[in-house]
């Protein structure tokens, strides 16, 4: 992308924070994450994805000022450092960047690309690099949860409940793995049925997780609630949280088949509405 790497970006951030502390001036961070970038790689290939990243880097530099710095933070994430800039000024730069990204399609495939941006400011949100990065990361996921293609400014005045909810969602996104099962539809075309689980224990308050990508009309999540109820939800538009059990490998299911999930059995019905019953013989 021709941008500096993460280690170089971290060093610039430390240097700029030291200067801001010495001068008593503000500093802002923009943590930028491309929306649905995985879909570009999956659909058009990694070469197309690399083209998009290079174009995003160019547009990012166009949106920034001469005094600003930007680096590749990892994957499809970028970090911009804005010295002498408060939250209002950072918002203006972020809006300019979002406009630059929307302005024209990218790459040989003329792909439409948007991003979400989390904003954190020194000294209001922290004095150390790790503090500010954590606040920017939390603001980024607030932007994602609010619909993507927008910015969010870290706001310490938000309710603790809202902040804890965002942290749980972020944690689930990082720690949740998904195994794939297959449901054979009436016309014998395989359609994916996602069986998800988390390894962090049951949390009834976690009601969000990775959403399905809508690749099939029968794409969904099997949800195992803390009281043992198993339900199926279509994921063409949204996902649900679930407290499931480990499935190590993809499984192929036909209508009427039973799948053991921990102490439960999932019965694949024709509607398809899964039903569940205790599989006591499977319990240790």
> What is the reported pLDDT for 122?
96
Q: Is the sign of the CA dihedral 63, 68, 69, 73 positive or negative?
A: negative
Where do the domains of the chain lie, and which CATH numbers do they carry?
A: 6-157 (3.30.70.270), 175-282 (no CATH)
> What is the reported pLDDT for 1?
59
| Spans of the chain, pLDDT less than 50 | 159, 171-255, 261-284
Number of Cβ within 10 Å of residue 112's Cβ equals: 10
> What is the reported pLDDT for 42?
81
> What is the reported pLDDT for 259?
54
> What is the reported pLDDT for 109?
74
Pairing outcome for strands 77-83 and 27-34: antiparallel
Q: Report the distance separating Cα 273 and Cα 222, nearest Å.
A: 10
Q: Given 16, 76, 95, 189, which residue is catalytic?
A: 76
Residue from 201, 210, 277, 279 nearest 239 by CA: 210
| Residue 96, helix vs strand vs coil | helix
Tell me whether residue 76 is one of the annotated catalytic residues. yes
Residue from 151, 195, 162, 158 nearest 31 by CA: 151
> What is the reported pLDDT for 110?
78
> What is the reported pLDDT for 132?
93
**In the structure encoding, which two tokens stand for residue 207, read together?**
């009601």
> What is the reported pLDDT for 45?
81
Report the mean per-residue pLDDT for the chain.
68
């Amino acid at each position: 992308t021709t941008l500096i790497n993460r280690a170089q970006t971290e060093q610039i951030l430390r240097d700029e924070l030291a200067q801001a502390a010495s001068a008593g001036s503000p500093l802002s961070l923009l943590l930028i994450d491309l929306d649905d970038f995985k879909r570009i790689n999956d659909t058009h290939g990694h070469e197309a994805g690399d083209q998009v990243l290079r174009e995003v880097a160019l547009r990012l530099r166009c949106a920034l000022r001469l005094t600003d710095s930007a680096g590749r933070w990892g994957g499809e994430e970028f970090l911009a450092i804005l010295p002498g800039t408060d939250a209002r000024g950072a918002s203006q730069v972020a809006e300019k960047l979002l406009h630059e990204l929307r302005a024209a399609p990218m790459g040989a495939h003329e792909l439409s690309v948007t991003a979400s941006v989390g904003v954190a400011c020194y000294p209001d949100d922290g004095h150390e690099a790790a503090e500010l990065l954590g606040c920017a990361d939390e603001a980024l996921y607030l932007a994602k949860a609010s619909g993507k293609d927008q910015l969010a400014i870290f706001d310490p005045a938000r309710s603790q409940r809202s902040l804890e909810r965002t942290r749980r969602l972020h944690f689930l996104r990082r720690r949740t793995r998904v195994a794939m099962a297959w449901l054979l539809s009436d016309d014998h075309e395989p359609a994916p049925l996602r069986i998800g689980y988390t390894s962090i224990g049951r949390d009834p308050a976690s009601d969000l997780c990775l959403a399905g990508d809508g690749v099939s009309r029968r794409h969904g999540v099997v949800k195992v609630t803390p009281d043992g109820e198993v339900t199926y939800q279509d994921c063409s538009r949204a996902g649900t949280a679930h407290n499931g059990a480990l499935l190590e490998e993809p499984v192929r299911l036909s209508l009427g088949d039973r799948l053991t999930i921990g102490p439960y059995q999932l019965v694949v019905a024709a509607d398809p509405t899964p039903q569940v019953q205790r599989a006591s013989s499977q319990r240790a």
